[in-house]
Amino acid sequence: MNFLSDHLLLLSVVAPLLAGLAVAFAPKAAAKPIALAGFGLPLLLALHAWRYFPANAGAGYAFLHSYNTGLTGMGIALKLGLNGLALPLYVMAAVVGLAAGLYAMQSAAERMQGYLALLLVMHAGLMGVFASVDVFFLYFFHELALIPTFIMVGVWGGRERRYAAMKMTVYLTLGAMLSLLGLIAIYAKSGANSFDLITLRDALAAKPLDGAWQHRIFGLLLFGLGTLVSLWPLHTWAPLGYGAAPSSAAMLHAGVLKKFGLYGLLQVALPLLPAGAHDWVKPLAWLAVVGNVLVIGLVTVAQRDLKQMVGFSSVMHMGYAFLGVACLAAAPATGGGQMAAGGVVLMMVAHGLSVALLFLLSTSIWQRTRTFDLGEMGGLAQKAPVLAAFFVAATFASIGLPGFANFWGELVIFVAAWKFSPLLTALAVAGVVISAVYGLRAAANVFFGQPTEAFAAVAAANPPADLRWAEKIPALLLLVALLGLGFWPKALSEPLNAAVTALYPVPAAAAAQK
């Protein structure tokens, strides 16, 4: 092993962190180049990790390295590594991070240096989340990314920023504290006295927890992590927060950080507490499909505000991911769990890219129309055809049309869910229609038809230009990734399948039935 593959993951966390510190104190002229390095380096490292990810890794970890922080005696150490489940998300975080960083650099934010510094700290946390093998640091990096979000919403946010920041903080702290309690419970009850995921897995595979405790702990984790992923009815912070958040913070949070909850369920809760997960399948599946997909889907249709709409749509799409998690939890009885897990990860990656793109474009639209109100726009495509093309593409991706990465994620989840419950699958598929309704209607309202009077007045005073290169590059980055995965999902699914097969083995009984 050489230096790079030993410390690659640490570098990808430390680079943005140091860049963040440097940006805060650097002279103004040096700030943007430093920030660019801080956002760019993780992507290079992530691509390197992807390229050299060993094909035979299985559930094992690559680039594994442990750093002593003084608490090894308690089973806490900064242990970094990637398995097939983490790799796709790690790469996605790096892509969205660079896009959000580039978009922030071209924005006209006040106190740019503080803004970039906070974004870089957040990015460091995001890279750390998916690179952590130690559950303590998994949680730690999540919070490291979360704190800058609150500050950015409060300081650089738009409408109702103070209320939104406060509400986000209280809700997300509640979710985080419940999850933390669940993690402590695993630590103490497993008898492993360690937060190291590998040790925990081995300990619990040898001697699973008794059913009552699995039930309780999984419940804690489900609602704790669920709050962070906006599981209905604990979602109310999300649209409000995203509506107020500055665009790059919304991109990073909705795109990447929100996936932490699902990732925690897939990587920690389900493999460690399979029996507990099984108890919660029914409530989870119904909450996901009826609550997130249908109720929030209809709420999304009713939105007149573009950014709120994108925020609600991201809540809605999490319903599919939760449905996938429910299938996976039900898997020992019904089979199809590995497929569901793969679908959820693909969905997370695709949604991360597409929602980030939508937030980016919404802000670009706002800069041209000076409003988020869908009723006060129209005909923007004549002035900004490239922007229109991007937005329509992002909308298609978000609906889940073939050719985009989202398609594979949703398709795989639906197929897996059919074995689990045809009724719920049918309802969930109906959700696709709902997202087509609001997505296409929004695109039509903004870009096509005749300009409204209000927009005509804005356009006359301040003629809107098309997307500038500074906006195009981050948008292209995301769109290329979406299309790339849409046409060649194998790039991520191979290591993913290997990991999923090893992480969620099909029990002998279920395998025999097939």
Partner 1 sequence: MSLQELAASNDWLSIAPEIFLGCLALALLGLELLLPKKDHGIIPFAAILGQVGLLLAMLAGFHHAADAPATRAFGGLIQHDRNGEMFRVFFLLTSVLVSVLGVIALAKQRMPRTEFFAIVAVVTAAMMLLAQSNHFALFFVALETVTVGFYILVSYTRTNPLSLEAGLKYLIMGALSSGLLLFGIVLLYGVAGNPALPAHSGEAMNFGELRNFLAANPDNFIAAAGIVFVLAGVAFKIGAVPFQIWVPDVYQGAPTPVTAFLAVGSKAAGFAVLLILVQIFAPYQQLVTAVLAAMAAATILFGNLAALTQDNVKRLIGLSGVAHAGYLLLGVLAALHGQDGATGAVIFYLLGYLLASFAVFGVMTHLAGADDADQQLDHYAGLGKTHPFLATVLAIGLGSLAGIPPLAGFMGKLLVFMAAFKARLYWLLAVAIVGVVISIYYYFGWIRAAFFEEPRDDGRRPARTPVGLVAGVVLALLAGASVLLGFYQGGLGEIIGLR
Supply φ then ψ for residue 65, to 5 degrees: -155, 140
Supply φ then ψ for residue 80, to 5 degrees: -110, 145
Give CA–CA dist 74/236, Å, rounded.
Answer: 37
In the bound state with partner 1, the residue whose beta carbon lies nearer, of 150 and 242, is 150
Q: Are strands 78-82 and 62-67 parallel, antiparallel or unpaired?
A: antiparallel
In the bound state with partner 1, the residue whose beta carbon lies nearer, of 183 and 345, is 183
Q: How far is the CB of 72 from partner 1 (least distance, A)?
A: 8
User: Binder to partner 1 among 185, 217, 221, 346 (CB under 8 A)?
Assistant: 185
Confirm or reject binding of residue 250 to partner 1 (CB under 8 A): no
**421, 476 in Cβ contact below 8 A?**
no
Confirm or reject binding of residue 456 to partner 1 (CB under 8 A): no
Confirm or reject binding of residue 161 to partner 1 (CB under 8 A): yes
In the bound state with partner 1, the residue whose beta carbon lies nearer, of 256 and 288, is 256
Selected range binding partner 1 among 31-39, 180-188, 388-396, 443-451, rule: CB under 8 A: 180-188
Sequence-separated contacts (24+) of 80-83 with Cβ below 8 Å:
80/9, 80/10, 80/13, 80/128, 80/131, 80/132, 80/133, 81/9, 81/131, 81/133, 82/9, 82/49, 82/53, 82/130, 82/131, 83/57, 83/59, 83/499, 83/503
Confirm or reject binding of residue 212 to partner 1 (CB under 8 A): no
Selected range binding partner 1 among 66-74, 95-103, 464-472, 506-514, rule: CB under 8 A: 66-74
Q: Cis omega (within 30 of 0) on the bond before 505?
A: no
CA-only gyration radius of the chain, Å: 22
Confirm or reject binding of residue 184 to partner 1 (CB under 8 A): yes
Q: Give residues with Cβ within 8 angstroms of 70, minimum separation 6.
A: none
Per-residue binder mask for partner 1 (CB under 8 A), 88-127, x = binder = ----------------------------------------
List alpha helices for 370-421, DSSP H.
380-383, 385-399, 405-420
Per-residue binder mask for partner 1 (CB under 8 A), 73-92, x = binder = xx---x--------------
In the bound state with partner 1, the residue whose beta carbon lies nearer, of 166 and 436, is 166
In the bound state with partner 1, the residue whose beta carbon lies nearer, of 186 and 499, is 186
Confirm or reject binding of residue 166 to partner 1 (CB under 8 A): yes
The residues with which 82 forms a beta bridge, in sequence order, are 62
Q: Using CB under 8 A as the criterion, which residues of the chain lie in contact with partner 1 when the complex forms?
A: 69-74, 78, 136-137, 139-140, 143-144, 147, 150-151, 154-155, 161-162, 165-166, 169-170, 173-174, 177-178, 180-181, 184-185, 187-188
